[in-house]
Structure 1
């Protein structure tokens, strides 16, 4: 089985304010409910360089759904579609379009994780249950979070199969070259008016997270729109969840647009890390992935603002990659346009060169770019 990093002991402390009564080893997988999993899988393979890993459907005894599992380094995506009308998956797609249903977290003890979170007020989604096949056993449990999103706790130290019991190895002829994506850096949730603090408190109380950083409407605003954001993180820093809410502005913000088209709170974007953002973005762009662009004037003074960097400025300018610096280093980042028909989910590509922050110096240029896209859609 292609596995994540198996180091589960003595994880470094990145966020000492976190209580960390819920040890999390990393993101196990992200499951999206989609209208056509077969075609979505081809998109993430051909455009993004994900590799086929596992499959479950009619051929494996499932009668109501089909799932394709893709992997690139430590990132696992599960794409699930319904096989019959009615039911929860269809309802989710009808309401939200394609979108993230589950953020699965890799743990040593799924039962303890369930007990710790539900005893602190989390609503149960899946009581602890053990699933077995000829490759061993996996214990799963789960809780609800914002909107219809859930967290699944995955205990898999006694399993050697391709993904989970009930899945078989998926080995099609077609395999695209990977694009250098390495792991999930963070996942951002959009919530409604005045709900940011509620969900930040949820992660603090229920999961032992602590706030890394916060941004108010003075940090994240343009002439027209504004939003607020707080970043919650567990102790070892492997799980980081920024939570966004709208703020008052002259026009409709990107958060309001998201909530309108997603029909509620949900995952706005995944930030995927790379060790060479120029190479990764070049490959993605050549395969048809569309990115937001910033005016050429952004690059006229970027080095005055961020100081010396290792990269040549020319390819960053040509690709539209943004740069920002904090006390510990700098980062490079770029954001796709929405990757779905609804203007909801997008993907960020990020390369950290020591920086622990999230690109505050780029917010104005980025959100002005998003506003130009909103204006083209008639939703600003």
Structure 2
């Protein structure tokens, strides 16, 4: 029985990946938000992120402001417009707060752009150098589902706090971290019939491989259904599940997301921890709200998943879900939407060897989501 925490080295572990586009991991995730200063306070207070860098009027920017937050290997950039009109305002008006950029750390941003665009990706940023007194970075980018972008960041020649144009952001208020380590995966919701298109995009354009597929028989309740495929690069450091709706008796969570986000986009970000009990205890104490499953879920969960290292009672008290695959088991829990629109949320996950995504929890999880949809009158 595998009980060690799952980590992903630089070695290839998924043989199906072509890996013509070497990637070191997620560099940062940028959200366009209505008020970056207040959003930064929320992610610091509620999730334990730390102040890192800032760019705005004081650094010479006239049209926008960005705050950079970090916890271990997770880096968030929160960006707001400073003037009316323009693409950031348009994005927020259409989608609400949401993920605009999934930045990928690469050794060669020029080659990454060349390899992906020659395979059919639409460019959003040609390779170019950005520099200041701390060195330079090379950035390039391509478009993906909805209005989401992948920006390739080459930073081996840069020693600054984040990127050129940013200054160190010192604050007196830095609540303790809660044990979040790295981004385990990021899930994209796409429209009817679009899942295979975007899975093929990640396979052909970026060299990913499909790890697992779930159809509406795997992910369904009495009312709603969806389909999902998980794409990963060869090292397993970057995993992108892609969801699409499936026919059900009522409106699924994917349909609800697409209605309120006005199109495809990032549904949730899964953040890894080495001690989910401590992490969730801290998050709940700070006001983070999580989905709840009925207590009967725990009556036979150990019959299904077998022996685990943790005592069941604290997991039950915190509503943490458990699942097992051939490699080990995992512990996971999902926040309620962290925005006014029922769109983006977070998953907290601890892997004890497992490389799967909690298939055994789908029914309980989606019934919990449906209860929230019923309260929102969107089911």
Provide TM-score, normalisation by structure 1. 0.97
Structure 2, unmatched stretches of 5+, are 1-7
1:181 and 2:180 equivalent?
yes
Give the aligned partner of residue 278 of structure 1: 277
For residues 61-72 of structure 1, the aligned pairs below 5 Å read 61-72=60-71
CA offsets 1:258-297 (integer angstroms, 9 cap, x no match): 0000000000000000000000000000000000000000
User: What displacement does 1:12 show?
Assistant: 1.1
In structure 2, C-alpha distance between the alignment counterparts of 1:368 and 1:237, rounded to whole Å: 29
1:172 is paired with a residue whose SS is coil
Give the aligned partner of residue 10 of structure 2: 11
Give the aligned partner of residue 308 of structure 2: 309
Give the aligned partner of residue 4 of structure 1: none
Give the aligned partner of residue 248 of structure 2: 249
In structure 1, C-alpha distance between the alignment counterparts of 2:168 and 2:341, rounded to whole Å: 32
2:104 is paired with a residue whose SS is strand
User: What displacement does 1:14 show?
Assistant: 1.8
CA offsets 1:149-177 (integer angstroms, 9 cap, x no match): 00000000001100000000001111110
Give the aligned partner of residue 363 of structure 1: 362
2:156 is paired with a residue whose SS is strand
In structure 1, C-alpha distance between the alignment counterparts of 2:248 and 2:173, rounded to whole Å: 48
1:348 is paired with a residue whose SS is strand
Give the aligned partner of residue 287 of structure 1: 286
1:202 and 2:201 equivalent?
yes
Give the aligned partner of residue 146 of structure 1: 145
Structure 1, unmatched stretches of 5+, are 1-7
Give the aligned partner of residue 193 of structure 1: 192
In structure 1, C-alpha distance between the alignment counterparts of 2:320 and 2:352, rounded to whole Å: 14
Give the aligned partner of residue 5 of structure 2: none
In structure 2, C-alpha distance between the alignment counterparts of 1:79 and 1:14, rounded to whole Å: 33
In structure 1, C-alpha distance between the alignment counterparts of 2:224 and 2:106, rounded to whole Å: 39
2:210 is paired with a residue whose SS is strand
In structure 2, C-alpha distance between the alignment counterparts of 1:376 and 1:174, rounded to whole Å: 35
Give the aligned partner of residue 325 of structure 2: 326
In structure 2, C-alpha distance between the alignment counterparts of 1:199 and 1:285, rounded to whole Å: 35
CA offsets 1:21-59 (integer angstroms, 9 cap, x no match): 000100000000000000000000000000000000000
In structure 1, C-alpha distance between the alignment counterparts of 2:83 and 2:110, rounded to whole Å: 32
2:267 is paired with a residue whose SS is strand
The two structures, once aligned, show a CA RMSD in angstroms of: 0.8
Give the aligned partner of residue 26 of structure 1: 25
2:280 is paired with a residue whose SS is helix
Aligned length: 372
In structure 2, C-alpha distance between the alignment counterparts of 1:274 and 1:129, rounded to whole Å: 35
Give the aligned partner of residue 126 of structure 2: 127
Looking at both structures, which has the greater relative contact order when contacts are Cα pairs under 8 Å and sequence separation is at least 6? 2
In structure 2, C-alpha distance between the alignment counterparts of 1:333 and 1:174, rounded to whole Å: 29
For residues 16-95 of structure 1, the aligned pairs below 5 Å read 16-95=15-94
1:225 and 2:202 equivalent?
no
